[in-house]
Structure 1
Amino acid sequence: MPLYTVDVYSGSDDSIIRDPHADGVIVKATQGTGYVNPRCNHQWDLASQLGKLRGLYHYAGGGNPVAEAQYFVQNVRNYVGQAMLVIDWESYQNAAWGNTNWVRQYVDGIHRLTGVWPVIYVQESALWQVANCAGDCAVWVAKYASMNWNSWAVPNMPVSSGAFATIAGWQYTGGDMDRSIWYLDAAAWDKFAKANTANPTPKPQPEVNPAKPSDEPNTWQDALGDTWHEEKGTFVSTTQLHLRWGARTTSATVALLPAGSVIKYDAWSRHGGYVWLRQPRGGSEYAYIVCRNAQTNEPYGTFK
């Protein structure tokens, strides 16, 4: 039996969330790297109180896709595992519209950070822009019979899935409210919220790359605004530590390393309350590990 949902943003009336036809509510959380929906928590809590399935979406601003993935996860981290995560790919206020690699980089970033593959929302005519995500992500297609289809009745019309094997959801009206039908049951919806346990190792793509040079020699600032200093050395841990795909405590884990592990590094950065080391892993891939508490200066190992 299919599910029906509404999606809401800061200007949506609570009556849309309360609509008894809606089995689920998908709430706008963030946009770009500078906007958080001020009513997101309220809308989430109301949907929860009503016993509805929940999702959270990020509206693509078209900036750095890794930075936008990081921004979204930072703001919804308390809900990861409870909500379907969605990337909203539209042309309005999107500087990267037409870029066929932007969403691919974004979904890889979300997967590295959370272990979850987000659902992609896109209009039918732009499915080609996200075709390279079809092997990992589900798609939620927007196609309207008309902007005046103010009804829960589903219009009789074909909807393409493009490169995707099938569509997970179809947003079929956006007049008085955004209504969608999902070809899922509640158990399948819940699986979208959970980390992919069948393939727990995230794709190893570097999360932090040099973005602009610094005035200091052998120093650079990455795309997330963190300053890195070139330094080659060896770190030996004295406690159990996470080796991660990114230099954030929310980044996905490569491995949980025991005390006594030896890490060869080529750069360090002080941010987020820690001193981080960068481990080269071949090609352009890197992993990251904390080596010191930046506030107390307590080390988590020794250096050679």
Structure 2
Amino acid sequence: MTLFGIDVSSAQHGIDTGAVPSDIVMIKLTGGTGYVNPDFDAELAKAKADNKGVLAYHFYHEEYLEGTPDQEAQFFLSHVMPYLDGTVGVALDYEPTPTGRFNALDPAQSKAWCDIVHAQSGVVPWGYGPVSTIGAGLRSVSDAGYPIWAAAYTLGYQPIYGYTPPVGPLGVPAGMNVKMWQFTSSGHLPNWPNELDLNIFYGTRAEFDALCAVGGAINPQGYKPTPPSEDDGMSQAEVLEIQGFIDTLQTELQKSVGEVTQQLIQDQIRDLTAHVDASIQAALFASEKFDQKAGQDEGAVIINEVRANANMLVAIAAKNAPAVAAAIPADIAQAVADELAKRLTETK
């Protein structure tokens, strides 16, 4: 079993963490010795109202607000303690800062922060960092048994639609106890127009909740990932097939459609793409039922709907992208092409 989640901060001001599809939400609370996310309360409330798991995290050495491990831990604790009711976990974001003011990662500092927070809050902290630096910055945290949340963008900054993690995470140092993987910062989900950090947690909701419990004990042997089940819903191949339709369509549009017409068509594509994404999420979140007959029937219906929507996307460009149009049934292509022609006429 796996869970999917998003990572948000004030950079996602206005996001409805309850409406954007996810099982868990990681929210920045503090940074250094003086920064507090002004959107934390709103983001937390919406996530909890939708019964999502939550991690509150601290960004170490926020630029120009740097402190010692104890100072930064105490600052974080002074703000996070009121929220620690057994349903909110904690994490340390330990990575080089954007301008390079802090890039000499010291595993003794990250472990000291985690030890202080664990001792005073009773909640087991996570250690987060890019896969390129977790060996240097979080090795002692991992060796102590704290769970690791690694960022590894194996596809770089290529857009990823829905929770479709590529092969990975790649480059994790041997022996690191990676329990959660942030696989992109260029993710796209329904109900939010901009890019998001997307994550996959290797375990069940009960396992995630256990890491939020007050009085939780660290495991010196580390947390071992729970392998995802073969019945965990819509396969990656299914989703990639759908995304292939969209990618092919966009390529053909670039080749063969004039700028004005292309913009009009792309407006329609944007709406239908959102519908496809929503259908993908519906299929993924129906995954827990796929090992039961009723769930299989439901999943089959959803997948068929997704494929139909993908075909509609391709058909929109039927008159302007012949190579794509040839791959779909003529009646579908003609119906959507007629609708497109009607809309283009109305727009003139």
Scaled by the length of structure 2, the TM-score of the pair is 0.54
Residues 226-280 of structure 1: CA distance to partner in whole angstroms, max 9, x if unpaired?
A: xxxxxxxxxxxxxxxxxxxxxxxxxxxxxxxxxxxxxxxxxxxxxxxxxxxxxxx
> For residues 1-304 of structure 1, what are the structure 2 equivalents within 5 Å?
1-15=1-15, 17-61=17-61, 62-80=66-84, 81-92=86-97, 95=102, 97-128=104-135, 129-134=137-142, 135-144=144-153, 145-151=155-161, 152-162=163-173, 164=175, 166-175=177-186, 176-196=195-215
SS for the counterpart of 2:106 is: coil
Give the letter aligned to residue 32 of structure 1.
G
Q: Relative to 1, partners in 2 of residues 1:164 and 1:45: Cα closer, same or farther, differing over 3 Å?
A: farther
- 1:281-304: CA deviations, max 9, x gaps? xxxxxxxxxxxxxxxxxxxxxxxx
- Verify the 8 A CA contact 1:63 1:96 in the aligned structure 2: no
Which position in structure 1 is the counterpart of 2:231?
A: none
Question: Which has the larger share of helix?
Answer: 2
Per-residue CA deviations over 1:164-204 (Å, capped at 9, x if unaligned) read 453110000102100000001111111111134558xxxxx
Distance 1:15 1:75, change over 3 A: closer
CA drift at 1:30: 0.1
Larger Rg, first or second structure (1 or 2): 2
Provide closer, same or farther for how the CA distance between residues 159 and 166 of structure 1 changes in structure 2, counting only shifts above 3 A: farther
Give the CA deviation at 1:133.
1.4
* C-alpha contact 1:10 1:38 (8 A) present in aligned 2: yes
Partner Cα distance (2:73, 2:168) in 1: 34
- The Cα shift of 1:3 comes to 0.2
User: What's the secondary structure of 1:11's corresponding residue?
Assistant: helix
Q: Is the 8 A contact 1:54 1:82 kept in 2?
A: yes
Distance 1:170 1:36, change over 3 A: same
Structure 1 residues 38 and 198: CA distance shift in structure 2, 3 A: closer
Paired positions, count: 199
Task: Please give the TM-score of this superposition, normalised by the length of structure 1.
Answer: 0.61
Letter of the 1:55 partner, please give it: L
CA deviation after TM superposition for structure 1 residue 120, in Å: 0.6
Tell me how far apart the structure 1 counterparts of residues 181 and 133 of structure 2 sit (CA, whole Å): 14
Q: Is the 8 A contact 1:30 1:59 kept in 2?
A: yes
Name the amino acid aligned to 1:189.
F
Measured in 2, the distance between the counterparts of 1:107 and 1:168 equals: 16
Does the CA contact (< 8 Å) of 2:166 and 2:183 recur in 1?
yes
Partner secondary structure for residue 3 of structure 1: strand
Report the alpha carbon displacement of residue 148 of structure 1 after superposing the two structures with TM. Answer: 2.3
Give the AA of the match of 1:130: L
Mark the CA change 1:198 to 1:100 in structure 2 (over 3 Å): closer, same or farther.
closer
Q: Aligned letter for 1:138?
A: P
CA distance in 2, matches of 1:188, 1:60: 26
User: CA shift at 1:6, angstroms?
Assistant: 0.2
Q: Measure the CA separation in 2 of the matches of 1:198 and 1:91.
A: 29
Q: Distance in 1 between matches of 2:217 and 2:97?
A: 36
CA deviations 1:28-65 (Å, max 9, x no partner) are 00000101001101110011112211110000015211
The one-letter amino acid of 1:84's match is G
Question: CA separation in 2, counterparts of 1:133 and 1:71?
Answer: 20
The answer to whether the Cα contact below 8 Å between 2:13 and 2:39 also exists between their aligned partners in 1 is: no
Gaps of 5+ in 1: 200-304
CA displacement at 1:112 relative to structure 2? 1.7
